[in-house]
A and B are shown apart, each in its own frame.
Chain A
Amino acid sequence: MKKILIAATAAVLATGAGLLGASAADKLKIGFIYLGPVGDLGWTYQHDLGRLEMVKEFGDKVETTFLENVSEGPDSERSIEQLARAGNKLIFTTSFGYMEPTLKVAKKYPNVHFEHATGYKRDKNMSTYSGRFYEGRYIQGIIAAKMSKSGVLGYIASFPIPEVISGINATMLGAQTINPNIKVKIIWANTWFDPGKEADAAKALIDQGADIIMQHTDSPAAMQVAAERGKLAFGQDSEMIKFGPKAQLTSTMNNWGPYYIQRVKAELDGTWKSEDFWGGLKSKLVVMAPYTNMPDDVKKLAMDTEAAIIEGRLQPFKCPIVGQDGKEVECKGGTHLDDGQVLGMNFYVKGIDEKIPGK
């Protein structure tokens, strides 16, 4: 009787184990953790497009799994660990808030490689990757200053982290090359994705006189509001032209596919190692959507600026950079601010009348 019981238990356990690790072992299993739903049409959507592009490249050699809508709170460590336990050898965690959980799981699973987007902590088996989104925003600033009649730009910001601050500064530096007196109004939505809040912010900005809407949040809601009110706007993360065919000027798009292909290839070749990748327009991680709804001269200016950045002739954070307090910022990169200064940016440039929240 006891034997039967043991056998039965073993059978149940084996079935369970079979359910957990069902697929063939020779494929490279790759996991993704997404912040939003894959249908957010913004941040997560672009990561998923990158994943699909990578799958298309490698076909049968890889098998991917994603967990979507993983909140940055207490659940994320479990979600990441579940992917590691399910046999994924390379795991991409695609939001800043996964930094500590990714680090914790990486220590527990030294044979699994982790890639954390937009963070600053690394380990032997944990890389970081991000985009120089400020390059696109510099171009947007130039376009915005050219197109604005009121001279007031509306900016929907998410959180006062360096990536967002450097985006606001780059926008202003670009805009000031056209109109030194340009103004920007900033609303902090305190969220990456909340279409209702984003739409409200866009309405409030327009009511305050802004005629160009730019956003560092992920949904197309602001674009829709701008389109309804007959204003112009910039997309974010992805192509948003269908939400504002008469409103979108361009969009700074995140193009993760080439990076994912490169890293998976390294993993397949056995050459993966922990590193910090920060790609911009040149490496095509940041891509501009077609320049639309603007006269040809503005379009040409935008394209020339883009080319200059790609060729390295133009640095958005070219020295001298003057801070809000009127003092010149130390120029650690020689001719421009160095990467460390941009990655840790915590000041506004001169010309911005607002204050960084919590500062």
Chain B
Amino acid sequence: MQLVLEKRAERSSAIALISPLIAIGLTLATMSILFAMLGKNPISALGVYFIAPFVDSYSLQEIAVKATPLVMIAIGLSLCYLANAWNIGAEGQFLIGAVAGSWLAVKTQGTDAGPWVFPAMLLLGAVGGALYGLIPAICKVRFGASEILTSLMLVYVADLLLDYLVRGPWRDPKGFNFPTTAEFDPVATVPVLIEGGRLHLGGVIALVVVAAGAVLLARTIKGFEIRVVGAAPRAARFGGFNSNQLILLAFAISGALAGMAGIIEVAGPVGHLQPGISPGYGFTAIIVAFLGRLNPIGILFAGLFLALTFIGGEQAQITMKIPLDVTKVFQGILLFFVLACDSLILYRFKLVFASPKVSRGAH
């Protein structure tokens, strides 16, 4: 008797719906075992991770703050991935957006520039990110260069450019040579929504982006074209869709959203430009995009869920002295199960009773 994976005749939409839930269930079960092995009570440990962050407005705000850049970037990435364009460089577009927007903040510092500064920074961030995202797209369309490599390598270029700016021309003259710009003026920062809290306008912008993404994909011709180009390139050609143009569009939107997320992060939670403004948001967002099955609403929940594991992980460190590494294991196991369960959409388990060997000798 053997357990084999057999390809399904068609993809199972029921499994597609519940597979993330199965994955989360399996993750929780595995984590419970791990907690028990660490000598912690699994119920209270899971409580700290998943319930405690929901009990007060403070942690809810923090989850939203953490999820904001992830969701914004992931929405853009999902457009690229749906169009079969593999933008791996959102991290770089995020950084360039931050740099482009910060330029205005640095230039207007100490002047009596009005409240137009922040909206203008947002626009600059989006334009900067879009232009940077277009570089790998143009290289792909024009020269056939692999966008996976070019977009990824441009991350390091962006990183070094930011590094150069905050160490050289934009360095805070009163900052004792520390690589950072001066703190941005109030007109150059993201408005906070709740007095004394950290929830900022970026959260609202992220929600608008989710809604716009959902409408674009479900209700517009461009959205339809993007999906067809990715899912059935031949059909798209017969349909007369210009796939090159769509790749450029997807990269531009993706870059703009990442760039906007970058400037929001810098003008919001960080408050100045410095190296290390992104703890890998551009890469984590790839996970968020797939966890959310490249669907805007799914991405919103995936972003919030991943943010929850960060916040919960921190509280677990504080209240239960559970090491940070366990949180990382947690996220790793989750991804592992999500990918594993996804294979059930196209495959199913089957018990095979007879010997799979076919006898050859008998005529």
Contacts and interface: CB of A to CB of B under 8 A. Distances in A.
B176 A161 contact: yes
Contacts of A318: none
A100 interface: yes
B277 interface: yes
A164 B274 CA distance: 18
Interface stretch (A71-79, A233-241, A243-251): A71-79
B51 A15 contact: yes
B168 A74 contact: no
A19 B319 contact: yes
Interface in B50-75: 51-52, 54-56, 58, 62, 65-66
Interface in A91-131: 96-97, 100, 108, 120
Contacts of A346: 176-177
Contact-residue size bin, chain A (C-beta under 8 Å from the other chain): 35 or more
Contact of A71 (B177, B279, B311): B279
A100 B178 contact: no
Contact of A16 (B51, B177, B196): B51
B129 to A, nearest CB: 17
B178 A159 contact: yes
Contact of B277 (A13, A17, A74, A343): A74
A73 B278 contact: yes
Interface string B153-172: 00000000001000110010
Contacts of A177: none
A78 B314 contact: yes
A358 interface: yes
A20 B52 contact: yes
Nearest to B167: A358
Nearest to B317: A67
Nearest to B280: A71
**Interface centre among A74, A86, A100, A357, by most B CB within 10 Å?**
A74
Contacts of B196: 108
Given A13-B55, A82-B315, A162-B176, A19 B44 contact: yes
A59 to B, nearest CB: 17
A22 interface: yes
B274 A73 contact: yes
Interface string B232-274: 0000000000000000000000000000000001000111101
A190 B163 contact: yes
Given A67-B314, A74-B277, A97-B274, A159 B179 contact: yes
Contact of B319 (A12, A20, A78, A190): A20
A272 B167 CA distance: 36
A81 B319 CA distance: 14
A161 B318 contact: no
Interface in A47-96: 65-69, 71-75, 77-79, 81-83, 85-86, 96
A320 interface: no
Nearest to A20: B52
Nearest to A73: B276
B177 A19 contact: no
Contact of A85 (B58, B270, B275, B324): B58
A97 B279 CA distance: 14
A32 to B, nearest CB: 11
B198 A65 contact: no
A65 B51 contact: no
Contacts of B25: none
Nearest to B196: A108
A344 interface: yes
Nearest to B179: A159
Contacts of A151: none
Contacts of B66: 75, 78
A66 to B, nearest CB: 8
A314 B48 CA distance: 55
B177 A160 contact: yes
Contacts of B62: 78
Given A65-B321, A358-B171, A73 B52 contact: no
A68 B275 CA distance: 19
B47 A15 contact: yes
Nearest to B323: A68
B178 A16 contact: no
A84 to B, nearest CB: 11
Contact of A12 (B51, B275, B315): B51
A165 interface: yes
Nearest to A66: B317
Contacts of B163: 190
B318 A82 contact: yes
A73 B167 contact: no
A344 B51 CA distance: 47
Nearest to A83: B318
Contacts of A86: 315, 318-319
B264 to A, nearest CB: 10
A67 B198 CA distance: 20
**Interface centre among A15, A75, A77, by most B CB within 10 Å?**
A75
B354 to A, nearest CB: 53
A71 B66 CA distance: 14
A75 B178 CA distance: 19
Given A19-B319, A71-B276, A79-B314, 10 more contacts: A22-B319, A73-B277, A73-B279, A78-B198, A78-B314, A83-B318, A100-B271, A165-B177, A190-B163, A358-B167
Interface of B: 44, 47-48, 51-52, 54-56, 58, 62, 65-66, 163, 167-168, 171, 176-179, 183, 196, 198, 265, 269-272, 274-279, 310-311, 314-315, 317-319, 321, 323-324
Interface of A: 12-13, 15-17, 19-20, 22, 31, 37, 65-69, 71-75, 77-79, 81-83, 85-86, 96-97, 100, 108, 120, 159-162, 165, 190, 343-344, 346, 356-358
Closest 7 CB pairs of A and B: A16-B55, A74-B269, A358-B167, A358-B168, A73-B276, A86-B318, A19-B52
10 contacts: A16-B54, A17-B55, A20-B55, A31-B318, A68-B324, A86-B315, A100-B272, A165-B177, A346-B176, A356-B177
